[in-house]
């Protein structure tokens, strides 16, 4: 399990690097939006390329940041139900979700997206808007984003298995609110079983 946890740590490091990098694209999109608004209002100059690059940047943040949201335990949960389960049961539910839903979804979406990317690249597909941008970089975000999400899924699977075997800490506490720093070594009370886990 030690080697698997090291591999998980490498994936987490890559995910963290990508997640913290794409955050800057939000600032870039904001600056482009402001510059576009000033140019349009002050000089009556407009460009569809300026509008579309904002969409591209938003798509990049959303797609490439999905794995980082998973790492930070920031994805959507039904907490009203999850909080009633024991910690071990929640880990087993997570493992089932990763194996039965996350991995197949990432694979299927990647399979559907790849031919569109290749066709757009080979044809040099452009936006239908005048002065718009080339499309294949936007299409590339879909398989890239789901690949990164699946990669982080592998890491989360390893960490949950390690927790269940007593080889690792609770992965739902490790990242949340810590910006990558390990959580403090505290006992966590298990609501359903009354057990305490370190």
Nearest to 9 by CA among 183, 197, 182, 188: 182
User: Residues 6 or more apart from 187 whose CB is under 8 A from it?
Assistant: 196, 197, 198
pLDDT at 187: 38
- Which pLDDT value is given to residue 75? 73
Q: Is the pTM of this model over 0.75?
A: yes
**DSSP structural state of residue 99:** I
pLDDT 10s digits, 34-84: 988 888 888 887 788 888 999 899 999 999 999 999 999 887 766 667 777
State residue 186's pLDDT score.
Answer: 38
Beta strands in the chain (DSSP E): 188-189, 196-197
What is the CB neighbour count within 10 angstroms for residue 5? 16
């Amino acid at each position: 399990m030690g080697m698997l946890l090291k591999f998980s740590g490498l994936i987490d490091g890559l995910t963290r690097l990508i997640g913290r990098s794409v955050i800057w694209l939000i600032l870039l999109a904001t600056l482009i939006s402001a510059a576009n608004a000033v140019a349009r209002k002050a000089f009556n100059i407009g460009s569809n390329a300026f509008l579309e690059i904002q969409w591209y940047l938003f798509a990049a943040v959303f797609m490439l940041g999905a794995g980082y949201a998973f790492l930070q335990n920031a994805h959507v949960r039904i907490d009203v139900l999850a909080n009633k389960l024991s910690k071990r049961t929640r880990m087993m539910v997570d493992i089932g979700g990763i194996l039965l839903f996350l991995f197949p979804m990432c694979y299927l979406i990647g399979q559907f997206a790849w031919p569109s990317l290749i066709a757009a690249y080979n044809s040099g597909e452009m936006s239908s808007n005048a002065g718009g941008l080339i499309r294949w970089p936007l299409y590339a975000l879909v398989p890239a984003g789901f690949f990164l999400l699946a990669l982080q899924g592998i890491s989360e699977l390893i960490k949950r298995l390690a927790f269940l075997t007593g080889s690792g800490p609770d992965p739902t506490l490790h990242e949340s609110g810590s910006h990558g720093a390990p959580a403090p070594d505290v006992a966590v009370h298990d609501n359903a079983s009354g057990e305490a886990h370190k």
